[in-house]
């Protein structure tokens, strides 16, 4: 089996770290219990392990192809997507009134992880469709919701997000695609969009493009951008498909990774104008996009965790098979499987610790998103604020760490890792887009600094630091503290990491106004530092639970203890190094002063 869903680890993170049982008290989530979760996860494991995972390498070797404007998905993808759709997986967290299952985000999250671990390229299609559904639910008219959402949820149709243009990447103020009012309830759109994931394909009957464009009278910049529905085939009032719309895929990209996922260049309006329908109010397109962007960013963060776990599994499998060299401790006279060599263990443990730490944090974030529906307003606001603080971290940190994990995955394979047939290289290539799309790590870091730290003067950050303090006190007071290297390492390095995070928050809050360049030069290190410490905090919690429950399942909990220990010594100490990078700000006689010709 090329992928084994880590259901037990996921249940641990959902139950013990994210506290799934808290959710069933929320209105609408009565069914969100551990038992439901177990059943859903088992079902998701069956689909992803059996159907989607075997196609992952196929799609890499035989990418989707373009001919005369039509894109054919990789072999087997259409059928696999059909099975995914028929299983109701697209609707997992969407409202039941549109055919969804209305499950909490926390329960959908491990399913999302499995989907992406099994097949990152294929998973992008539902991920983008989720985005389109959320945008329509947020800002669409009742008629638009009724027409599009049920068919997107059923998987008959899929959705896309059309933001980027050649001159407008991170900077959406530069969007130029124009939308002209036709006086009949429709607009005609003209322009070019690039990097449109699954922007054209043959897996569904229709594609619902959500497109950012400007009306002729719109103000400049981001306040003049509106959101439009542009379906590939026009849709009748009863939902039947009509004429082909004037949006055409003129090419797909030749990419480093996620090759099965077609990345389209879409041309709007070359033959008279692509018919589009305004979503919500004019000039508020970016605002709508931002509402759904949290979900998409969280989803990409999960992609980082997913591809990391897949790379880890592959590396472990190889390390258990490959026989090479005698052990350094002289415990065998013959060559042994390389998993017995300390450096291979270090690599595997680093991969595992990074993945589990990021997973713990992401699942906890998902629970906060769900608790953001709490009936009590203060509770709601508090959880919502924490979720929003965590989203750029889950996105930025989980994707950056996936570069390290997938690279270690190649390294464990030695020379075989560099041979494409082995498969480890695919994860390394696939992962490389994750810190770029849906907002680069720098964009996430700007969000973390600007909207999430400065706007409340570091209040949410301070709340999280207090929570970490509670865990530190628990570690210290625990009966195992004095006898356990894991407890001591974790306490020491989490404490140092917590202090580094606090100082960094302080630096950001104190210097942003006077020295914006200094603060923003350290914004990515700040994000990484936050990710490392907050994930370490989850593993510290996991360590305490594992020790307390050890007698129930020693093998499982010993791995949790070792993973926490590995994270404490291999990963957490980086926090202090990052603090230096944050607070240095590259200022004074440093980098900001250089003329660009000096680079």
**What residues between 571 and 590 interact with its own copies by CB under 8 A?**
573-581, 584, 586-590
The Cα–Cα gap between 315 and 321 comes to 10
- Strands (DSSP E) contained in 93-172 are 157-162
CB proximity list for 63: less than 8 A, separation 6 or greater: 74, 259, 260, 262
The yes or no reply on residue 420 touching its own copies (CB under 8 A) is: yes
Listed residue (569, 133, 534) closest to 361, CA to CA: 534
Rounded-to-integer distance, Cα 462 and Cα 469, Å: 10
Q: Which is nearer to its own copies, 379 or 558 (CB)?
A: 558
Q: Is 258 helix (H, G, I), strand (E, B) or coil?
A: coil
Given a contact cutoff of 8 angstroms between Cβ atoms, the answer to whether 286 and 172 are in contact is yes
Coil, strand or helix at 588: coil
- Alpha carbons 110 and 393: distance in angstroms, whole number: 18
Which residues between 191 and 210 bind its own copies (CB under 8 A)?
194-195
Closest CA to 529 of 569, 563, 570, 573: 573
Return the number of the residue (146 or 512) whose C-beta is nearest its own copies. 512
Contacting its own copies (CB under 8 A), which of 184, 217, 238, 596? 596
The residue (of 185 and 330) whose beta carbon lies closer to its own copies is 330
Instruction: Find all residues with CB under 8 Å of 329, minimum gap 6, and list them.
Output: none
Q: How far apart are CA 93 and CA 373, in angstroms?
A: 13
Residue number with CB closer to its own copies (429 or 506)? 429
Applying the rule CB under 8 A, the residues between 209 and 228 that interact with its own copies are none
Contact 132, 142 (CB under 8 A): no
Candidate ranges 62-70, 151-159, 283-291, 553-561; the one touching its own copies (CB under 8 A): 553-561
Shortest reach from residue 179's CB to its own copies, in Å: 22
The region of 40-48, 101-109, 235-243, 431-439 touching its own copies under the rule CB under 8 A is: 431-439
Tell the smallest beta-carbon distance from residue 318 to its own copies (Å). 11
> Residue 357 has which token pair?
């730490």
At residue 192, φ and ψ (nearest 5 deg) are: -125, 130
Residues 235-254 that bind its own copies (CB under 8 A): 253-254
> Among residue numbers 462 through 491, which ones bind its own copies (CB under 8 A)?
484-486, 489
Q: How buried is residue 89: exposed, middle or buried, by Cβ count under 10 Å (0-12/13-18/19+)? A: buried
Report in angstroms how near the CB of residue 311 gets to its own copies at its nearest.
13
Which residues lie below 8 Å from residue 416, measured CB to CB, with a gap of 6+?
318, 422, 424
Nearer to its own copies by C-beta: 242 or 590?
590
d(CA 310, CA 487): 29
Cβ 487 to its own copies shortest distance, Å: 9
Among 72, 414, 481, 499, binds its own copies (CB under 8 A): 414
Residues 70-89: x where in contact with its own copies by CB under 8 A, - otherwise, as a string? --------------------
Q: How many CB atoms lie within 10 A of CB 8?
A: 12
Site for its own copies in 438-467 (CB under 8 A): 440-442, 445-446
Positions 349 through 368 that interact with its own copies (CB under 8 A): 349, 352
Which of 76, 104, 257, 458 is the binder for its own copies (CB under 8 A)? 257
Min dist. Cβ of residue 462 to its own copies (A): 24
348, 405, 475, 501: which one binds its own copies (CB under 8 A): 348
- What are the backbone angles phi and psi of residue 228, rounded to the nearest 5°? -130, 145
Q: How far apart are CB 219 and its own copies at their closest, in Å?
A: 15
Q: Using CB under 8 A, pick the residue from 22, 78, 345, 478 that binds its own copies.
A: 345
Which of the residues 103 through 162 are near its own copies (CB under 8 A)? none
Which ranges of 478-522 would DSSP assign to H, the alpha helix? 485-511, 516-521
335 binds its own copies (CB under 8 A): yes
Binding mask 493-532 for its own copies (x = CB under 8 A): x----------------------xxx-xxxxxx-------
Residue 438 appears among annotated catalytic residues: yes
- Is residue 325 within the footprint of its own copies (CB under 8 A)? yes
Q: Which of 388, 400, 438, 579 is catalytic?
A: 438
Catalytically active residues, by annotation: 438
């Amino acid at each position: 089996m090329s992928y084994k869903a880590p259901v037990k680890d996921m249940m641990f993170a959902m139950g013990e770290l994210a506290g799934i049982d808290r959710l069933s008290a929320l209105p609408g989530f009565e069914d969100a219990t551990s038992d439901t979760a177990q059943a859903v996860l088992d079902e998701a494991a069956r689909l992803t392990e059996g159907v989607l995972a075997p196609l992952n390498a196929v799609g890499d070797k035989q990418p989707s192809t373009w001919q005369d404007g039509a894109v054919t998905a990789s072999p087997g993808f259409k059928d696999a997507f059909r099975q995914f759709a028929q299983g109701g997986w697209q609707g997992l967290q969407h409202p039941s009134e549109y055919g969804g299952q209305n499950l909490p985000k926390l329960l959908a999250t491990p399913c999302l992880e499995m989907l992406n671990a099994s097949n990152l390229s294929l998973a992008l299609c539902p991920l983008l469709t989720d985005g389109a559904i959320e945008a329509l639910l947020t800002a669409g008219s009742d008629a638009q919701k009724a027409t599009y959402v049920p068919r997107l949820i059923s998987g008959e149709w899929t959705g896309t997000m059309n933001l980027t243009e050649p001159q407008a990447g991170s900077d959406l103020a530069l969007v130029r695609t124009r939308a002209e009012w036709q006086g009949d309830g429709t607009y005609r759109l003209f322009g070019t969009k690039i990097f449109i994931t699954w922007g054209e394909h043959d897996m569904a009957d229709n594609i619902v493009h959500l497109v950012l464009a400007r009306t002729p009278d719109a103000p400049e910049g981001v306040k003049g951008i509106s959101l439009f529905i542009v379906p590939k085939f026009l849709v009748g009032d009863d939902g039947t498909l009509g004429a082909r719309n004037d949006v055409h895929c003129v090419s797909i990209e030749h990419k480093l990774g996620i090759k099965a996922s077609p990345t389209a260049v879409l041309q709007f309006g070359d033959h008279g104008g692509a018919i589009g329908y305004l979503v919500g109010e004019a000039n508020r397109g970016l605002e709508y996009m931002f509402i759904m962007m949290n979900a998409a960013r969280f989803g990409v963060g999960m992609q980082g965790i997913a591809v990391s776990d897949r790379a880890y599994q592959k590396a472990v499998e190889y390390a258990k098979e490959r026989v090479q060299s005698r052990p350094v401790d002289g415990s065998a006279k013959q060559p042994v499987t390389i998993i017995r060599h300390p450096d291979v263990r270090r690599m595997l443990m680093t991969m595992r610790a990074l993945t589990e730490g990021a997973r713990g944090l992401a699942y906890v974030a998902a629970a906060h998103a769900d608790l953001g529906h709490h009936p009590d307003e203060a509770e709601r606001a508090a959880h919502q604020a924490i979720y929003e603080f965590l989203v750029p971290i889950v996105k930025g940190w989980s994707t950056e760490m996936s570069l390290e994990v997938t690279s270690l995955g190649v390294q464990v394979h030695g020379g075989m890792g560099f041979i494409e047939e082995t498969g480890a290289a695919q994860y390394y290539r696939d992962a490389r887009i994750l810190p770029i799309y849906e907002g680069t790590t720098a964009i996430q870091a700007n969000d973390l600094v600007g909207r999430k730290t400065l706007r409340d003067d570091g209040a949410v950050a301070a709340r999280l630091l207090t929570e970490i303090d509670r865990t530190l006190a628990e570690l210290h007071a625990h009966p195992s503290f004095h006898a356990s290297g894991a407890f001591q390492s974790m306490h020491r390095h989490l404490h140092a990491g917590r202090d580094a995070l606090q100082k960094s928050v302080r630096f950001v809050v104190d210097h942003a106004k006077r020295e914006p360049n200094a603060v923003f030069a350290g914004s990515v290190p700040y994000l990484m530092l936050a990710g490392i410490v907050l994930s370490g905090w989850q593993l510290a919690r996991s360590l305490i639970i594992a020790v307390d429950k050890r007698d129930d399942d020693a093998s499982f909990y010993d791995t949790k203890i070792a993973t926490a220990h590995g994270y404490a010594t291999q990963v957490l100490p980086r926090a202090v190094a990052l603090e230096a990078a944050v607070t240095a700000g590259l200022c004074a006689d440093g980098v900001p002063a250089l003329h660009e010709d000096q680079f």
